[in-house]
Structure 1
């Protein structure tokens, strides 16, 4: 199973880039990982920004990929439940599992409707920049749980 992370905009903060690099490197021991950035939209009203950004994300989505969107209205899972989701996706023969993180104004309804699953990392509002690190860490944690490694403590 190949992992694709799609997100809007370049990572701005050096400390966020460091976290992304750290966890992306760890994940690559378990599965191929590719990070794809869609250009963010500037200077338009929120609905237009959302529409253009989702068009760009859609173009980055590999054909036949199973799409998971990170959305505040999505399902919340424990880390073991997320590990189980990753494991089941792998065992079902999913070739490309793509996680999408929207821009500051999120996703259009149409883009969200393409998703196999919608996940929320927290009930709190998180910046779309920090969510990148949190998602990567949870993917790494999921793989360590799947492999019975001691990173995750219950």
Structure 2
């Protein structure tokens, strides 16, 4: 299995980029990981922005890839639940497990309908930049749980 994490827009803050690099490096000890950015849309009404950004995200999903959306309306998972999901996905022979973080206005209904699973990182509102680091940290934590390592107490 390969992991891909997609998001809309460039990572602006140096400290966020450092967090992304830190956890991406840790994840790559367990599994191939690719991080991909879709260009954000500017200067349009929210529905048009959402549509164009989702079109760009769609082009980054490999054929047969299983899409996991990060969305406030998604399932709340504990870290062990996420580890179990990763383990099941690997056991099922999923080639590409693709996590997507949308832009400021989220995802279109059409893009949502393609999701294999929808997950919420928190009931609190997070910036899209910070959600990138939090997702990667939780993926890393999931792999340590799967491997019985002491990172998760």
- TM-score bracket, normalised by the shorter chain, equals over 0.9
Whole-Å separation in 2 of the counterparts to 1:64 and 1:95? 8
CA deviations over 1:27-83 (Å, ceiling 9, x no partner): 000000000110000000111000000000000111100000000000001000000
User: 1:86-105 counterparts in 2 under 5 A?
Assistant: 86-105=86-105
Q: How far apart are residue 137 of structure 1 and its match?
A: 0.2
- How far has the Cα of 1:22 moved from its partner? 0.1
- For residue 152 of structure 2, what is the aligned residue in structure 1? 152
- Give the structure-2-normalised TM-score: 0.99
Across the aligned residues of Structure 1 and Structure 2, the Cα RMSD in angstroms comes to 0.4
- Helix, strand or coil at the partner of 2:3: strand
Question: In structure 2, what is the equivalent of residue 72 of structure 1?
Answer: 72
Number of corresponding residues: 153
Matched, 1:126 2:149: no
Counterparts of 1:1-150 in structure 2, within 5 Å, are 1-150=1-150
Q: Output one character per residue of 1:114-146: Cα deviation in whole Å (capped at 9) or x when no partner.
A: 000000000011111100000000000000000
Q: Deviations over 1:73-104 (max 9, x none)?
A: 00001000000000000000001000000001
Instruction: Structure 2: state its 5+ residue gaps.
Output: none
SS at match of 1:115: coil
User: Equivalents in 2 of 1:127, 1:115: separation in Å?
Assistant: 22
Q: How far apart are 1:20 and its partner, in Å?
A: 0.0
Q: Normalising by structure 1, report the TM-score.
A: 0.99
Runs of 4+ in 1 over 6 A off after TM superposition: none
In structure 2, distance between residues paired with 1:105 and 1:125: 13
